[in-house]
Amino acid sequence: MRQVLTQPAELFPGRKRVAKVEVIGVPMDLGADRRGVDMGPSAIRYARLKESLERLGIEVTDRGNLRVPVPESATQAEQNAKYYPIIKAVCDELAEIVEGVIAGGAFPLVLGGDHSIAMGTIAGIARARGSAPGVIWVDAHGDINTPLTSPSGNVHGMPVHFALQEHAVDPARMVFIGLRDVDDGEKRVIRELGVRAFTMADIDRLGMSRVVDEALAIVANGENSVHISFDMDGVDPQEAPGVGTPVRGGITYREAHLLMEGVAASGTLGSLEITEINPILDRENQTAILAVELILSALGKTTL
């Protein structure tokens, strides 16, 4: 049994509560082979996201969903990066919206959709703040394949590559948390770039509390400097069964909350996205309900 520490990180003392959140839904499922994650934003909203945030005293504006073509109406331009031109167009629109949200003084909360949407979120943050954020990438997978190395051609396995190449994310200010299914080409790139990766073996050995402290020391350099890109398949399928690509042996329920609580306690979280919820594979909306709970922890909900 893995030991789970329950004290939040105190590396950056002084919690600052988020006052205003703007929600952006991106029902994208062009980045993956398995259908269903396009319904993720609706599932999260159905799990009472807005009402739950408002109970924390947060002002919430829901901007609705971006329009995303369905695969049946789209054309695969390249087999090694399926639907990439369409995905990029949606991400460009998302970037513009995220930039405007931050410029208006609100916290952007992006709901996916598959993980390819992170390209748009990160691009918008970088434009609004003048530089790319430090990134905590919670995922079972590396998502750092290129169109030339990807075994599947699915773009949801490439957003880290594009974020590093096109949106100036600094490898020295990025961490992976929860990795347990990484392609050989991805392993090589992660080592070459020097991105800090906390695999599930690292979490088992170090405990999530220490992982959060070390991650924040890497990615945070001031107020609102951290972006969390949270793929729900980072959590163990027993807790989050409704995901696009489940992998056994993931982050536990309490570890997931400890991660979000620790970042909230640091006062450095500036943006958040939740991706890869597939209601077709879920049980009684369990995964979306957990996603809302994690969002609340990230935005300041505490036991006392």
13 domain residue, yes or no: no
Is residue 233 part of the annotated active site? The answer reads yes
Of 38, 181, 273, 276, catalytic: 276
Looking at residue 276, what is its pLDDT? Answer: 96
Is residue 183 part of the annotated active site? The answer reads no
Is residue 115 part of the annotated active site? The answer reads yes
Is residue 204 part of the annotated active site? The answer reads no
Of 38, 99, 143, 236, catalytic: 143
Of 22, 99, 139, 186, catalytic: 139
> How would you write the pLDDT of the chain (304 residues) with one tens digit per residue?
444 444 444 444 445 679 999 999 999 998 777 789 999 999 999 999 999 999 999 999 999 999 998 876 656 566 678 888 899 999 999 999 999 999 999 999 999 999 999 999 999 999 999 999 999 999 999 999 888 788 787 788 889 999 998 888 999 999 999 999 999 999 999 999 999 999 999 999 999 999 999 999 999 999 999 999 999 999 999 999 999 899 999 999 999 999 999 999 999 999 999 999 999 999 999 999 999 999 999 999 998 8
CATH number of the domain at 35, please.
3.40.800.10
269 domain residue, yes or no: yes
Closest CA to 271 of 24, 31, 8, 33: 24
248 domain residue, yes or no: yes
Is residue 141 part of the annotated active site? The answer reads yes
Q: Rounded to two decimals, what is the model's pTM?
A: 0.92
3 domain residue, yes or no: no
Looking at residue 141, what is its pLDDT? Answer: 96
189 domain residue, yes or no: yes
Q: At what angle do helices 118-129 and 84-103 cross, to 10 degrees?
A: 40
4 domain residue, yes or no: no
When divided into structural domains, the chain yields a total of 1
207 domain residue, yes or no: yes
Rounded CA separation 102/100 (Å): 5
Rounded CA separation 264/57 (Å): 16
Is residue 231 part of the annotated active site? The answer reads yes
44 domain residue, yes or no: yes
271-297 per-position pLDDT tens digit: 999 999 999 999 999 999 999 999 999
The answer to whether the CB of 279 falls within 8 A of the CB of 117 is: no
Domain residues for the domain of 43 are 20-298
Is residue 38 part of the annotated active site? The answer reads no
Is residue 143 part of the annotated active site? The answer reads yes
Rounded CA separation 93/68 (Å): 10
User: Which tokens in the block code for residue 262?
Assistant: 């620790």
Of 115, 161, 167, 227, catalytic: 115
